[in-house]
Amino acid sequence: MAITIDWATKVIFIPQNYLTDLGGNIYELNVNTFRLDLRDIEDNEEGIPFQYTHIHNTEVTLGGLTLSRVVEIIAPYTVTFEDGQYAVNLVGANNNIADRTNVNQVSVRSSNSAGMVTVSGSGSGGGLTAEEHDQLMKTLTVAKFLGLK
Partner 1 sequence: MAVPVYATELTDITTDSDAFTTVAGGGALTTNETDFYIQGSNCLSKATQASWDNNTYGGALHDDGANRTIPTNGAVFAWIYWWGPNVLATEANGGFALAIGNLTTAYKTFEVRGSDNWEFGGWECVPVDPNTFWASPHRTVGAPDGTYRWFGAEARVASATNIAKGNPFGLDAIRYGRGELRCTDGDVTNGYASFGGSSPDTGAAAWDNAVARRYGLLTPRNGAYFQQGLFIMGLAGTAVDFRDSNRVIFIQNTKKVTSLFNGFEIRNASSRVDWTNISVQALGTVSRGYFTVVDNADVNLDTCTFTDMDTFTFLAATAALSCTFRRCNAVTATGSDLRGSGFRTPTVAADASGLVWTDATETDGLLDNATFSKGTNDHHAVSFASTTTDVDYTLRNIDFSGFNATPASNDSAIYVAATTGTITIYLIGCTGNITAKSAGAAVTFISDPVTVTVTTKDVDGAVIGSANVFLKAASGGSGILPVSATVNTITRISTTATATHAAVHNMSTGDKVYIQGANQDVYNGVFTITVTTTTAYTYTIASDPGTNATGTLTATFVFLKDTTNAGTGVLSMSRVVAADQNVIGWARKSSNPYYKEGIISGTVSSSGDTTFSPVLISDD
- Which lies closer to partner 1 via its Cβ, residue 18 or residue 86? 18
Count residues near partner 1 (CB under 8 A): 14
Q: Which class for 117: exposed (0-12), middle (13-18), buried (19 or more C-beta within 10 A)? A: middle
Stretch that binds partner 1, among 33-41, 97-105, 112-120, 138-146 (CB under 8 A): 33-41
- Which lies closer to partner 1 via its Cβ, residue 92 or residue 123? 92
Quick check: 149 and 143 in contact, CB under 8 A? Answer: yes
Q: Does the protein bind partner 1 through residue 131 (CB under 8 A)? A: no
Number of H helices, E strands in the chain: 2, 13
Identify whether 76 is preceded by a cis peptide bond (ω within 30 of 0). Answer: yes
- Which lies closer to partner 1 via its Cβ, residue 58 or residue 113? 58
Number of Cβ within a 10 Å radius of residue 114: 8
Q: Does the protein bind partner 1 through residue 48 (CB under 8 A)? A: yes
Minimal distance, residue 88 CB to partner 1, in Å: 24
Helix (H) or strand (E) holding 78: strand 78-81
Stretch that binds partner 1, among 11-19, 45-53, 95-103, 115-123 (CB under 8 A): 45-53
Helix (H) or strand (E) holding 55: strand 54-57
Length, in residues, of the chain: 149
Considering only residues 49, 63, 125, 147, which one is a binding residue for partner 1 as defined by CB under 8 A? 49
Site for partner 1, rule CB under 8 A: 7-8, 36, 39-40, 42-44, 46, 48-49, 52, 56, 58
